[in-house]
Amino acid sequence: MSYNITGCDIAESKDFYITKADYEALQAEFAEDERLPECNILDEGWVKLSTKVKGDKIYPKNFWWGGNDYSLELLKEKVLPAFKGSADLVLIWEGGDSVSGLRYKGGKVTKHSVGYVLGDAKK
């Protein structure tokens, strides 16, 4: 039985973006790859709904990603390295059964455990 990523959130980021040219290159590379998860940033809807575009840079406000172990390797080896800046991503597995983290910094992706912290009190 496979275990799938059902959500991916940006916990923190600094100047995290992908150029339009790099984004289009990824789209072209994976256009026919049926193993690409249904929920992924290469979907045109992601740019329209979950990013801020400034000039030729696409800054994610939200990160669409899901799928199985193949999609995780694809994210780590192909997708994140196309970005600039840094980001901490929280991966939600099977709707919250577990969480894990990826840190992208200096062109490298590392795996991390994830802890929970309460923020400021709400009024």
Residue 122 covered by a domain: no
**Tens-digit pLDDT profile for residues 70-116:** 889 999 999 999 999 999 999 998 877 889 999 999 999 999 999 88
pLDDT at 2: 62
Residue 120 covered by a domain: no
Residue 123 covered by a domain: no
pLDDT band at 117 (very low <50, low <70, confident <90, very high): confident
pTM for the complete prediction?
A: 0.88
Residue 119 covered by a domain: no
| Overall number of domains in the chain | 1
**What does the alpha-carbon distance between residue 101 and residue 45 come to, in Å, rounded to a whole number?**
24
Residue 65 covered by a domain: yes
Report which secondary-structure segment, H or E, holds 103: strand 98-105
pLDDT band at 119 (very low <50, low <70, confident <90, very high): confident
Residue 117 covered by a domain: no
**What does the alpha-carbon distance between residue 79 and residue 57 come to, in Å, rounded to a whole number?**
15
Residue 9 covered by a domain: yes
Q: Which residue segment(s) compose the domain that 9 sits in?
A: 5-112
Residue 108 covered by a domain: yes
Nearest to 66 by CA among 5, 15, 3, 119: 5
54 vs 43, more confident: 54
pLDDT at 14: 97
